[in-house]
Amino acid sequence: MYHGFPCSMRSKVGFQIDSYRTRTFKIKAKTESGDGYTRLAPLRFESPSGQLLVQILQSHPHLLPATVDQQLENLQSEKDAQKEEVSKVPQDLLYQRIAEVKEKERQNTLEEIIYCWIIYKFMDNDISMTPALTPGAGPVRDISSLPNQEDKLQNIHSPDAFEMIQNHLNLIMGEKIAAPPDTVVEISNLNLGKLYAASIMYGYFLKRVDERFQLEKTMKTLPPNPKQQIVFENLKPNPFWDMESLVQITPDGEEISLDDKESNPNKLRSYVSQLDADTLQRYATIRSNEAVSLIEKQTQSLFGRPDIKVLDDGSVNAKDGKTITITFIELNHLVLEAVAFGSFLWEAESYVESKYHFVNS
């Protein structure tokens, strides 16, 4: 039973916010152990390559890039050998089944290689990833025991990108943004997982579009900023729009004022607002099945498995979960970590693609 007299309010993303004292409620984190688990990240590793890379990360992290390259070469050799075998051996149902199993194993290996690169990026920036969370009993660790990493999570982004991330956080907190950091949020693990997954995709999108923006800014090829209408009605459903993310700079059809400081063409917000619907949709789309799978696995490994799925149209679908409590400062950390994960996912996917082609055309 909860004690005290809560003052409840709904934020813009629809979860309940209650003013309880921090020491009354704590979100916990599992300290799982066993084959395939590591304290570096919540995901369990199953493939030999993934387990090898985890060992490298734990003992000699500086060797991770070279080891990743070697594992990708091995994966390419296996793929080429199978193609050569296919051309020589008559196809039958059994052989096709074997080929499908091998392809699934390669995909799982590839996912774990990408995930290890993401861990490497967190470690390289001296950021500890949140371990698996649980609202109940079992071996747990208080998430508040993690060091304050807000500055580090901020510094991995450009100032332009972090400005949009800050607005993303403001929208999540809603009217209670000015509340004390020890204010407690009551939210289901399902909704927290959906928020985390959507924030990963937001970070992925933001890193992708910011790379293009910074390049055009450096080359002085940014478009001018005339008055124009921002129309998003033709975009497919996406967590960004559902959460009223700052990707949608102004209400549909509203004109941007030339005198508005936010319409500065040297601002990422203004740059995004001028992208046409097709370009915006392309940048908001996760490029590979492996990346989509990793978003699901990372979310499920943190918040359990209430059937959280990323659908083809980019929306997040899941069934109801259990209610847990978390302070604003902890929620802020989780969102910033998710955005960082998305940013590193884009980098990892791009790096691996340069060595081993797998991204959807």
DSSP code string of 17-72: EE---GGG---EEE---STT-BTTBSPPP-SHHHHHHHHHHHH-GGGHHHHHHHHH
Give the confidence band of 216 by pLDDT, cuts at 50, 70, 90. Answer: confident
Q: What is the mean pLDDT of residues 25-52?
A: 71
138-161 pLDDT, tens digit per residue, is 333 456 666 789 899 999 999 999
Please report the DSSP string for 146-157 in residue order.
SPP-HHHHHHTS
pLDDT, residue 248, reads 33
The answer to whether position 335 is within a domain reads yes
Q: What is the mean pLDDT of residues 97-103?
A: 86
The answer to whether position 119 is within a domain reads no
Which of the residue ranges 52-61, 191-200, 230-239 has the most confident prediction, judged by mean pLDDT?
52-61
The answer to whether position 8 is within a domain reads no
The answer to whether position 330 is within a domain reads yes
CB count in 10 Å sphere of residue 314: 22
**Integer CA distances (angstroms), 116 to 120, 153, 192, 299, in order:** 6, 18, 24, 16
- Please state whether beta strands 133-134 and 28-30 pair in parallel, antiparallel, or not at all (unpaired): antiparallel
The answer to whether position 322 is within a domain reads yes
170-215 pLDDT, tens digit per residue, is 888 776 666 787 888 788 888 888 899 999 999 999 999 999 998 9
What would the two tokens of residue 347 be?
């980098």
What's the total number of domains in the chain? 1
Cα-atom radius of gyration of the chain, to the nearest Å? 22
Q: What is the mean pLDDT of residues 122-137?
A: 77
The answer to whether 314 and 236 have CB atoms below 8 angstroms apart is yes
Helix axes 328-355, 189-218, angle to 10 degrees: 60
The answer to whether 141 and 32 have CB atoms below 8 angstroms apart is no
Over 80: is that where the pLDDT of 65 sits? yes
The answer to whether position 69 is within a domain reads no
H or E stretch at 162: helix 159-173
pLDDT, residue 22, reads 32
The answer to whether position 36 is within a domain reads no
pLDDT, residue 321, reads 62
CA distance 212 to 282: 13
CA distance 243 to 251: 13
Q: What is the mean pLDDT of residues 258-273?
A: 65
Over 50: is that where the pLDDT of 135 sits? no
Question: Whose CA is closest to 201, among 314, 353, 319, 334?
Answer: 314
Using alpha carbons only, what angle is made at residue 146 by residues 333 and 122, rounded to the nearest 5 degrees? 70
Over 80: is that where the pLDDT of 294 sits? yes
Residue 166 belongs to domain spanning: 156-343
Q: What is the mean pLDDT of residues 87-93?
A: 72
CA distance 68 to 352: 9
CA distance 308 to 304: 9
The answer to whether position 3 is within a domain reads no
Report field, pTM of the whole predicted structure over 0.85:
no
